[in-house]
Every structure is written in C-alpha cells, then in structure tokens.
Structure 1
Amino acid sequence: MRKTNTPVNEAFRRGNQPAFVSFFRFHLVWMLAGALGILLANVTFSLLSEDLTALGSALLTIAGSAVAVVIYWLAMKFLARRSVPELPLQRRAVPEFILGAVVGLLFIIVSTALIVLFGGYSFKWSTGNASSVVLPVIATSLGAAFVEELIFRGLAFQAIEKMGGSFLALTLTSLFFGIAHLGNPGATVWGGLSIAIEAGVLLGAAFLWRRNVWFIIGLHFFWNTIEGLLGIPVSGHPSSGLFTVEVTGPALLTGGKFGLEASIIPVIISLLIAIPMLFFASRKGHFLSLRQDPKGE
C-alpha cells in the first residue's frame, strides 16, 4: 500500500495548523502585533528625521508611511491570514484618497467658517516663510494619518468587528481614539469626548461606508493639514501655520487651547456627515453582525 503525505496547504484547510499559526490568527494578537510594528516603524523614522531639512523630513515621512502600509499588509496576509480588500494598491487608491481629502477639506473649512461667523476666530496672514511652514505641516499630518488610521480603523476596527460586529467596533474604537488624545496639550474630558465623536465616529463611519483605508487616510490627512496651515492647534498641538489666529469666543465655540476639535461646531457637523455615511454603509450591506466575516474575506 502506497503511503501518501498530506500537503501543507491541505492541512491548513483541514484546520491542522501549528499552534503558533493559530495563536497569531487570534484577532487581538494580529491586531497588537501589527500595531506594534507600525508604531516601531513610526518611532524609528521620526528619530531619523530629527536633524533633517524640511524637505528631507517630508521625504522620510513618505517612506515611513509606505513602510507602515507594508507592515499592515504583512500582518493581515501572514498573521491574520485574510485578504486585504480595504487596501487596494491599484486603481481605487488615488480616487478614494482624493474623495476622502475633499470630505476632510470641506469639514474643516465649514467648521472654521462657522466659528468665524459666530465671532470665535479671526485670522491674520503670517509674514513668515511659507515654504518653511507648509512642508512640516504636511509631513506631520501625513505621518499621523497613516499611523492612526492603519492602527485604529485598519487593525483595531476590523479585529473588534470580527469578534463583536460593526457597532461594537465603531463604539470601542471611537472611545479608544478619544482616550488616546487625553494626554495631548490642553486636553480635557470634553476634548477627549469631542475627539471620540467627531474623529472616532466620523472616521469609523467613513470606513464602514467606503471599506477603504485610502479614503479615511485622505480624510484624516487633509483634516489635520488644513487645521495646521490655518494656524489652529491640531488636537492641542500648536501649529506655526500660514496665519495667526486670534481666539475671541468662549471655549465651547472655539475649542480653547485644544483647538478647533474641542469646539461644539465640528462635533455637530461631524455627526451630520457621519449619519448619512452610516446610512449608505447599511444600504451597501457593510455592517457586520456578531462573528460575521467582512466582505471580501
């Protein structure tokens, strides 16, 4: 009688996986492993860019963002052992990034305009060198958008979603995102709550609607970039923008030292944007119930 060996891939299909493979396929494990890899890459590239020129720092940020994408893809493919339809590297990447950027641009411009209208902000053009302002703002915003979205909406959202469904993922990642910003300069409990709503809920809803990481990276990137260029503190971090900002209204309107994101205006506007996104996500069947696999897996 001829003895036959079961191929490795057949063994995997039958569930005869080595213990270490099963361990890394556990949702929280691949989430934490991927997040740790992205954070380490971010810290490394940040240290390397400390003594560089503005252009050199921007180029290194782009390289670091590309490495973060690779780490995310590797974590999903070889640890989670799932497809990565949310991170298309061709065709849809640029259009989705641009669409997200438009949403982020409109969100900040409308929020700022309303605060100005109600007497909260006034702007004066800065006499500084524009080139020395634009590149650092872009570099900082780009790095934050890639790192935070790959970790929170890419890894954490989808890991929690696989365990408890979309609503649980949206709720927990929003709360975690708000808590993560409580250590920022000028942060308050209200500031953390406002971030949880306008950033956590809006970006989570955006991901559910598009199921595309490029879209939320574009939204996050332009959100922070426009704030920075206007000279408004970004989540409490001061920005040497193209304008100097005079804050004349109450903290609930202006956000105080934390900046625009602690204003009631963008909180309301973010919900007005997020609710239709959630509606369209539901119409597309993008909401997942408990233990249901995401579309494309």
Structure 2
Amino acid sequence: MRVFWQLLAVAAVSLAGGQAVAAVDGNGFLSLVLGLLTAVAAVCVYRWVVRRTEHRPVTEVARDGARAAVGRGALIGVAVFTGVIMNIALLGDYTVHGMGSVTGAVGLVGFMAAAAATEELLFRGVLLRIVEERFGTWIALTSTGALFGTMHLFNKDATLWGALAIAIEAGGMLGAAYVATRSLWLPIGLHFGWNFAESGLFGTEVSGNGAQHGLLDATTSGARLVTGGEFGPEASVYSVLLGVLVTLAFLRLARRRGHLMPRRRRGAPADAVATLPW
C-alpha cells in the first residue's frame, strides 16, 4: 500500500504540474516558474507521504547538502552529455547552424527541473528504494531501469533500441547515483543536467519527443547508431558507453561505502510500516 500511496501522490503533482507547464508553452518565464514550483511541490509531497506511510525521517531528501548535491549532479550530467555530443561532432554528424532561443532555453530549465524531480522521486525514490528493500540492489537496479526504459516507448518517435538505451544508460546511471549516495538530490541534479544539456544547450531531440529550442540551433545527421536518429542522442552508442562508465563508477563508490544491499531473506521483517494514519 505504501507503494500505491507514494506513487499516487507524486504522480498527481507530476500530472498537474505538467498540464500547467504545457498550458504556458512558448512563454519562457512562466514555464520556468511553473516548472520549478512543480519540482519543489513534488519533493514536499514525497517527503510528506513517505513520512506518513513509513513513519521515519525521509533522509533521502534531507535539506542539508541538497543544493550542493543537485549542483554536483547537474555538472556531471552536463559534462557527460557534452562528451556524447563532442564524439558525435568529431565524426561530422552534429552541425551548429547558429544561435537558437534564449527564451526557449530559460523555459526548458523549468520544464526539465520538473521532469527530473518527479521522475526521480517516482522511479528511484519509490520504486527502486522499495524493490531494493526486498530483493536487493542488483534486482532493483535492473528491474526499475527496464521499467524506466519501457516508459519511453510511449514517446512520439520512440524506438525499441532507444528504450533499451535509456534503460541501460539512464536507468543504470541514475539508479547507481542514488545507491552510491543514498540521496535523491544527486540523481535529480544528474537527470536535470543531462536533459537540459541535450535540449537547452545543444538543441537536440530528447527521448523521441522532437528537437527543443535551446541556445544552439543545431541538427544531427549520419548513422543512427552514432546520432540516435529521430529518438535523439540518447540512442547513440556514445550515450550508452558513457552512461555505463558512469554507472560503474557510482557502483564502485557504493561498494566502497557499503551501500549495496543483498536480497532480504524470506521471513525477515520489513523496515517500514505501510499504513496511513488518517
């Protein structure tokens, strides 16, 4: 039941915020404000519903160190995606035609902040964390990563390879970032940095949702395995390769810190109580 209530609460914020941002599409300032408000509201609702259903301090979204962790994650996300674009550009498959839209990039800050926060709260904060409690880290990473990739099959220009690439690079990288830190702030920042670099900075297609109006007016061309085709650079072999390398780095850190969880033995007591004292 706690899974149901937690998913429902965060999904409701995500849906309402998404509708609000979509309603002001084209207005960069309002998109920024509404997107940031959605991200903040989602974290607050997550903290509230987890506290009510599990009766514990919600340490994974503790306020202490939040800004620094989000900032570090965003820098990592931007750096990794920049590495992807640089490799595509070296092959002559990424071309910049000129400057894009500053207003569009500003709006994308809010849009991507809302998407990063709500998706990380749902997939890493609720699903991965609770699956991990019962089945251990490895099953939690693979199962939630696969589900995360599958959800992208519903996008406009989705492909099976694109969904598989998302499952490997993003599901693994973001899940491992949570496991290494036991905090949602780093994966939220990482998710935001990657998505904003992809859309707001380099103006490429995002997960099969079409090109975004970012700071650069650019296009990709060439082999699908290199550029990702209509799905975008997330379906590039470079994204998969770099995503796997970052994932391994986070998992190594998690092992050093003793954060990897084994599968719970049958009959072992659960750590949380799934009730709502309303």
> If the length of structure 1 is used for normalisation, what is the TM-score?
0.84
Shift in Å, 1:214: 0.8
Shift in Å, 1:243: 2.0
CA contact (8 A) 1:93 1:214 kept: yes
Structure 1 CA distance for aligned equivalents of residues 24 and 35 of structure 2: 13
Query: In the alignment, does 2:180 pair up with 1:180?
Result: no
CA contact (8 A) 2:3 2:127 kept: yes
Residue correspondence of structure 1 range 128-277 to structure 2 within 5 A: 128-130=100-102, 132-229=103-200, 230-238=202-210, 239-277=212-250
Structure 2 CA distance for aligned equivalents of residues 178 and 136 of structure 1: 25
Which of residues 55, 72, 75 in structure 1 aligns to 2:46? 72
Deviation above 6 Å: which 4+ runs of structure 1? 292-295
Shift in Å, 1:129: 4.3
SS state of the match for residue 112, structure 2? helix
| Post-superposition CA distance 1:34-53 (Å, at most 9, x none) | 11111111222333341474
**Unaligned regions of 5+ residues in structure 2, if any?**
272-278
Q: Relative contact order: is structure 1 or structure 2 higher (C-alpha 8 Å, sep ≥ 6)?
A: 2
Structure 2 CA distance for aligned equivalents of residues 257 and 293 of structure 1: 48
Moved more, 110-119 or 42-51: 42-51
| Post-superposition CA distance 1:194-235 (Å, at most 9, x none) | 000010001111111111111111100011111112110111
Which of residues 62, 75, 85 in structure 2 aligns to 1:102? 75
CA contact (8 A) 1:98 1:218 kept: yes
Equivalent pairs counted in the alignment come to 264
Structure 2 CA distance for aligned equivalents of residues 274 and 254 of structure 1: 21
Matched AA of 1:69:
V
Which of residues 12, 17, 39 in structure 2 aligns to 1:45? 17
Percent identity for Structure 1 against Structure 2: 33
Q: Which residue of 1 aligns with 2:34?
A: 60
Structure 2 CA distance for aligned equivalents of residues 293 and 97 of structure 1: 33
Q: Which residue of 1 aligns with 2:274?
A: none
Matched AA of 1:259:
G
CA contact (8 A) 2:35 2:112 kept: no
Aligned CA-pair RMSD: 1.8
Q: Which residue of 2 aligns with 1:24?
A: none
Query: In the alignment, does 2:91 pair up with 1:118?
Result: yes
Q: Which residue of 2 aligns with 1:22?
A: none
SS state of the match for residue 260, structure 2? coil
Shift in Å, 1:173: 0.7
Matched AA of 1:286:
H
Cα gap change, 1:129 to 1:105, in 2 (>3 Å): closer
Matched AA of 1:78:
R
SS state of the match for residue 37, structure 1? helix
Shift in Å, 1:294: 11
Structure 2 CA distance for aligned equivalents of residues 152 and 293 of structure 1: 24
CA contact (8 A) 1:288 1:294 kept: no
Q: Which residue of 2 aligns with 1:36?
A: 8
Which structure has the greater CA radius of gyration?
1
Moved more, 46-55 or 205-214: 46-55
Shift in Å, 1:283: 1.1
CA contact (8 A) 1:254 1:260 kept: yes
Structure 2 CA distance for aligned equivalents of residues 177 and 213 of structure 1: 16
> If the length of structure 2 is used for normalisation, what is the TM-score?
0.90
**Unaligned regions of 5+ residues in structure 1, if any?**
1-28
